A and B are shown apart, each in its own frame.
Chain A
């Protein structure tokens, strides 16, 4: 027992090293830069800079677009996962494969592909004009950014929900039906509550990358829509102000931490409920 524990601890070393080197220390550096000024003196100005109208607007836009993207992902993913769990019995998880295959392709390439679909001279508009309709203004809009977020992050919503639904003991569902629950009651009172941990982790895994993205917004927003991720990226890459960039990252971190706390709390109460 003691021996296996020691071996387990030893096996964990690479991870501990990894976490320290690439998570803990960079995080300490972000906090450090965020709370100091150019000359190394303590300041709260970099965090308070979120009140600057340009910054707060970018944060608001990021929250809004990633919130919508998360909801859309959830609405698309949940029914799909229910279908997949059913279909899996017959089609040998081929459908699940179809969802995962696009993820093998580079994220940037997939987003560039959307550019050529949505452009003024892109696939959709060429089709519309060829059948005599007016072209639509699709790219460089909020809608294009939301679409990019949904497309890129949807698998992160599907996989946890799929796993949660797949883990539900069929006997529980049968029991519910046996005891006279209607299809709708089975869904809302049995299946959905049992899949909630998957839903919560899906929400977290979509919301956080969507909130912090700067690639999707610059490729599909034409540089016209500034999200907080773009502001931070540009502070580091263009203005070379690591202090301000880190300060704004700390603000973003607060939203991420809130999201994680909510998901942990919900999962915990689920566990209490289950036991």
Chain B
């Protein structure tokens, strides 16, 4: 309603601004649009989450003009896509965000028969893991998966860290990096307290908030991608990090050790999805299928070091890589592992408000 009035105002004031008015107009339920004539494909992926060479290969092999854009967190990606879902064709969100976007009708249904490489190469275990957030495996194709854990510098720390407790240890004052995203920050505190990382209980969340406020003076910084560089440079001794990033940092600095805390942690999957309003759906499916080709999946794996769900690619790896416990951990050895679930708008808001209290404390 209000957006309609906004649109009117814009139209009356300056006809040319109508375009902008449309941009913010409410998404209406409507049939999917046919592909437009152009050979463009707009991809929206995490930063540094692909071997750029594979984009070039895709362009060469298919002749599509790929526009590649990146985001830093699911929460930054979502509002941009929600504001105008036709802006992007293929996106690579995480599990809980896929559930949220699918629930809001932002995603197109995919027919796996259109994507033979995906059907053939993605392991059954990962389709099964996906069913936690995409029950019929109809919106998403797994791209990468992993855990969240502690990365520490064994030169600066002379004990083995295997618990979230150490992030509250005063002796590591100014040597701790925490993730600057709502769910990943709360996850650590909730797990330390022995609660579910999908908790919606206000008392548990308040308790987690208090714990994080108490930790704040010890924290060097709340960052996302910089955890990697700061850990490599020895700027900080401990950081909360994604397993794939961890493996990359270990290549650069051999003193770094990754561990999955004993209280449990988040196991996540990032998957390719196609927006419902995409005007380049054919190209989008070709992109996903191309990314599932074993040779391409292997290139990406070797570039970004995130665990791949691509069984075809794993067969191409050497024995040593396949046995790497950071990349391919035996999940049955750990307890308290959970995937994020979408908690609904009100709980999202609650998490966010508590997060603000921590950040301003």
Residues of A within 8 A of B204 (CB): none
**Is the C-beta of B30 less than 8 angstroms from some C-beta in chain A?**
no
In the complex, what distance in Å separates the CA atom of A239 from the CA atom of B351? 10
Complex contact A238–B14 (CB within 8 A) = no
**Whole-angstrom distance between the Cβ of A224 and the nearest chain B Cβ:** 6
Complex contact A54–B6 (CB within 8 A) = no
Q: How many A-B residue pairs have CB under 8 A?
A: 87
- Check A36/B2 contact, CB under 8 A, given A54-B356, A119-B235, A137-B174: yes
What 1/0 mask marks residues of chain A from 25 to 69 whose CB sits below 8 Å from any chain B CB?
A: 100110010001001100000000000011101100000000000
Complex contact A238–B76 (CB within 8 A) = yes
**Is the C-beta of A121 less than 8 angstroms from some C-beta in chain B?**
yes
Closest to A228 in B: B360
In the complex, what distance in Å separates the CA atom of A40 from the CA atom of B73? 29
Partner of A226, one of B6, B219, B356: B356
Residues of A within 8 A of B9 (CB): 25, 28
**Is the C-beta of A107 less than 8 angstroms from some C-beta in chain B?**
no
What 1/0 mask marks residues of chain B from 199 to 224 whose CB sits below 8 Å from any chain A CB?
A: 00000000000000000100111110
Complex contact A29–B78 (CB within 8 A) = no
Residues of B within 8 A of A240 (CB): 78-79, 82
In the complex, what distance in Å separates the CA atom of A57 from the CA atom of B356? 11
**Is the C-beta of B68 less than 8 angstroms from some C-beta in chain A?**
no
- Check A226/B14 contact, CB under 8 A, given A119-B235, A140-B220, A240-B79: no
**Is the C-beta of B359 less than 8 angstroms from some C-beta in chain A?**
yes
**Whole-angstrom distance between the Cβ of B338 and the nearest chain A Cβ:** 22
In the complex, what distance in Å separates the CA atom of A200 from the CA atom of B183? 45
**Is the C-beta of A231 less than 8 angstroms from some C-beta in chain B?**
yes
In the complex, what distance in Å separates the CA atom of A222 from the CA atom of B9? 41
Complex contact A32–B220 (CB within 8 A) = no
What 1/0 mask marks residues of chain B from 272 to 306 whose CB sits below 8 Å from any chain A CB?
A: 00000000000000000000000000000000000
List 29 A–B pairs whose Cβ atoms lie within 8 Å, in order of A's numbering: A21-B14, A21-B16, A24-B13, A25-B10, A39-B1, A40-B3, A40-B5, A53-B357, A54-B353, A54-B360, A58-B360, A119-B233, A120-B174, A120-B236, A121-B234, A140-B221, A222-B221, A224-B216, A224-B222, A224-B359, A226-B356, A226-B359, A226-B360, A230-B359, A234-B356, A237-B76, A238-B73, A238-B79, A238-B352
Residues of A within 8 A of B (CB): 17, 20-21, 24-25, 28-29, 32, 36, 39-40, 53-55, 57-58, 119-121, 137, 139-140, 222-224, 226, 230-231, 234, 236-241
Residues of B within 8 A of A (CB): 1-3, 5-6, 9-10, 13-14, 16-17, 20, 73, 75-76, 78-79, 82, 174, 180, 182, 216, 219-223, 233-236, 348-349, 352-353, 356-357, 359-360
9 A-B pairs besides A54-B359, A224-B222, A238-B182 with CB distance below 8 A are: A17-B14, A28-B9, A32-B2, A119-B233, A119-B235, A120-B220, A121-B234, A231-B356, A241-B349
The 7 closest A-B CB pairs, nearest first, are A222-B221, A40-B2, A223-B222, A54-B360, A226-B360, A240-B79, A40-B1
